[in-house]
Amino acid sequence: MIMGTLNNRLDEARNSETSSEHLTQLASDESESDEALRVTGLKTKREAVTMGLQTLLRLRRQEEIRHFRGKLDWEGDLNAMRQDG
């Protein structure tokens, strides 16, 4: 029964062009998974993997932005802006 359900999910994932979910098996260190759940307060490994991927992508995007440091012209008065907010 479990294999039938798994095969059905695999077929659905393969056949769905608009699906945002993918069925993937991961081999990971169980202690790292447990620690990730504990420190994040997440309830499932799936949530932890999703958060990990989102964090990785966010960090990579931040690295790309850092390439612009010192290369962009900016005009303004930081002191005045700080007092407005």
Q: Which tens digits make up the pLDDT trace of 41-55?
A: 999 999 999 999 999
Tens-place pLDDT, residues 13-72 = 555 555 567 777 888 889 999 999 999 999 999 999 999 999 999 999 999 998 888 898
Residue 23 makes CB contacts below 8 A (sequence gap 6+) with: 6, 9, 10, 13
* pLDDT for res 27: 84
Residue 46 is inside which H or E element, if any? helix 45-66
User: Does residue 38 or residue 5 have the better pLDDT?
Assistant: 38
pTM higher than 0.85: no
In the block, tokens 């499932």 appear at: 44
Task: With both helix axes pointing from N to C terminus, report the angle between 45-66 and 30-40 in degrees, rounded to the nearest 10.
Answer: 80
